[in-house]
């Protein structure tokens, strides 16, 4: 998620899910924070929705879960971005 346009698509996708009450996006950090109610979607459903919209999810972290290191999450995002870039510049799948 590197632009307002992308953030808007992710936001609209998540807003369509029942039980989502708040969405915050941070383009600079490539983060989306989602607040859900008791009967709201679980992490897998949120991830599936974002991936279904065409975006990769580097990590999912529940509130209060400090196991995800921001540097690790950023590294995963950048690795995915590099892979997408290679795929787009080399659509035939040729090895270089």
Domains and CATH numbers, the chain: 4-89 (3.30.70.100)
Task: Report the distance separating Cα 36 and Cα 54, nearest Å.
Answer: 22
Q: Beta-carbon neighbour count of residue 14 at 10 Å?
A: 21
pLDDT tens per residue across span 3-52: 899 999 999 999 999 999 999 999 888 889 999 988 999 999 999 999 99
Is the separation of the CB atoms in 35 and 22 below 8 Å?
yes
- Token code pair at residue 30: 């490539």
The pTM of the full predicted model, rounded to 2 decimals, is 0.65
Interval 38-92: pLDDT, tens: 899 999 999 999 999 998 888 887 775 555 566 665 666 666 666 655 544 445 5
């Amino acid at each position: 998620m590197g632009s307002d346009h992308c953030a808007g698509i992710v936001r609209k996708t998540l807003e369509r899910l029942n039980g989502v009450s708040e969405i915050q996006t941070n383009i600079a950090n490539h983060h989306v924070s989602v607040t859900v109610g008791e009967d709201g979607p679980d992490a897998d459903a949120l991830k599936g929705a974002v991936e279904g919209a065409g975006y990769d999810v580097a990590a999912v972290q529940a509130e209060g879960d400090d196991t995800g290191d921001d540097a690790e999450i950023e590294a995963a995002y950048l690795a995915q971005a590099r892979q997408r870039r290679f795929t787009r510049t080399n659509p035939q799948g040729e090895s270089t």
